[in-house]
Amino acid sequence: MEVELRVSRDEFQRIRQDRKAIEKRFYELEKLEKTLRVLKLRYLLEHRDSLKKKLEEMKHHYEELVEFENKAKKDKMLLFEIRRELSYENAEFRQQLKVRMDEDSGET
């Protein structure tokens, strides 16, 4: 059985030079286990911290969105009311203008 591994040119040079030390390292299983344990721990800590950060950001955006929804709902009611008032007032003004124009044409 054979396992093949490709490395960069620099890494290959290092491996060639450290060949003797590497051969010993294959048998240092306790050190390997400790290393893998620490690397996994670091990964889990980083992952947890990034999730915490993402969750905080998401909560903040969600709160902003809820706030915006409340504002937009209130504004919608206000805009409906303004439209109703203006439509009514404009209709009234048009009527007044019509009466005035009719009076003016009656005078002439």
Partner 1 sequence: MKIVVRPESGWRKVTFNIPDEVFERISELGERYGFRMDRVLRIILLGGFIEDEESGDFEELEKEIDSLERELYELEGKWSPLKFKTYYIAMDNQNLAIQISGLIAENKRLRKMLGKEDKDYSEIERLIHYYMGFESYE
For position 72 contacting partner 1 by CB under 8 A, the verdict is yes
- Nearest approach, Cβ of residue 108 and partner 1 (Å): 18
Site string for partner 1, 1-40 (x = CB under 8 A): xxxxxxxxx-xx-xxx-xx-xxx-xxxxx-xxxxxxxxxx
Helix (H) or strand (E) holding 16: helix 9-17
For position 55 contacting partner 1 by CB under 8 A, the verdict is yes
Cβ neighbours for 7, distance < 8 A, ≥ 6 positions apart: 15
Q: Which residue type does 28 have?
A: E
- Nearest approach, Cβ of residue 48 and partner 1 (Å): 5
Q: Which is nearer to partner 1, 6 or 106 (CB)?
A: 6
What is the sign, positive or negative, of the torsion defined by CA atoms of 3, 26, 19, 7?
positive
Task: Report CA-CA distances (Å) from 1 to 4, 5, 41, 103.
Answer: 10, 14, 32, 110
Cβ neighbours for 32, distance < 8 A, ≥ 6 positions apart: 25
Binding site for partner 1 (CB under 8 A): 1-9, 11-12, 14-16, 18-19, 21-23, 25-29, 31-42, 44-45, 47-48, 51-52, 54-55, 58-59, 61-62, 65-66, 68-69, 72-73, 75-76, 78-80, 82-83, 86-87, 89-90, 93-94, 96-97, 100
